Amino acid sequence: MTADQIAALFTRPDGTFLCARWGRPVAPVIFGLADESLRVFRGAIRAGFAHAGHPVADTDAEMGANLMLFFVRDWTDLAGIPDLDRLTGMADLLERLRRAEADQYRVFRFDADGGIRACLGFLRISGALADSHPAHLAEALFMRCALTFAGNVVPSAPMAALIRAAYAPVLPVAAADPSHALRLAARVGNA
């Protein structure tokens, strides 16, 4: 992967660049899946973070769970989640998702150093995701929650190498300057 390709992965439509990784152990919780699928998603999250060299914990000291994934058949199912507006910081999330006919959405929260503090992922599995193989969807979901990618990414060996490179302890947990892509590109070959 070139530095330009990497920079594009973290550049938002407004031109801002943000590459942030988790700065604390990840404590996942998953809602809305049957037990057999739940095992697949838990396994993918643990394996992905193990590959990145980042710890996964049972709980986060401040928040209990800091990676919360919600699987629903229809966005209206989110109406049953208590204090969803406070959890996400968006009073109109449900309406926005319905209007956009979205299949998935992520919300990140950050620590003072810019590292990911929490990630909330919402997936509507009755839409385009309905025919997804659980293992493929789990791997893609891990990647989208591991770093602050500006859009959807497709699992691949180069993407796995990029995530591993981004978790190198010598790199900052967050960078807002596109030149960070040069540092990542240099490490991808060594990941």
- Provide mean pLDDT across the span 124-133: 82
pTM metric for this prediction: 0.92
Tell me how long the chain is.
Answer: 191
User: What is the structure's pLDDT at 134?
Assistant: 87
Tell me the pLDDT tens digit for each residue of 158-189.
999 999 999 999 999 999 999 999 999 999 97
Tell me the pLDDT tens digit for each residue of 40-72.
999 999 999 999 999 999 999 998 999 999 999
Provide the mean pLDDT of the chain. 93
Domains plus CATH for the chain? Answer: 1-21+149-191 (no CATH), 22-146 (3.30.379)
Band (pLDDT 50/70/90 cuts) for residue 190 is low
Q: Give the Cβ contact number of residue 69 at 10 Å.
A: 23
SS3 content of the chain, % helix, strand, coil (to 5): 40, 20, 40
In whole angstroms, what is the distance from residue 115 CA to residue 60 CA? Answer: 15
In whole angstroms, what is the distance from residue 190 CA to residue 182 CA? Answer: 13
Q: Distance between terminal CA atoms of the chain?
A: 12
- Asked whether 27 and 156 are in contact (CB, 8 A), the reply is no
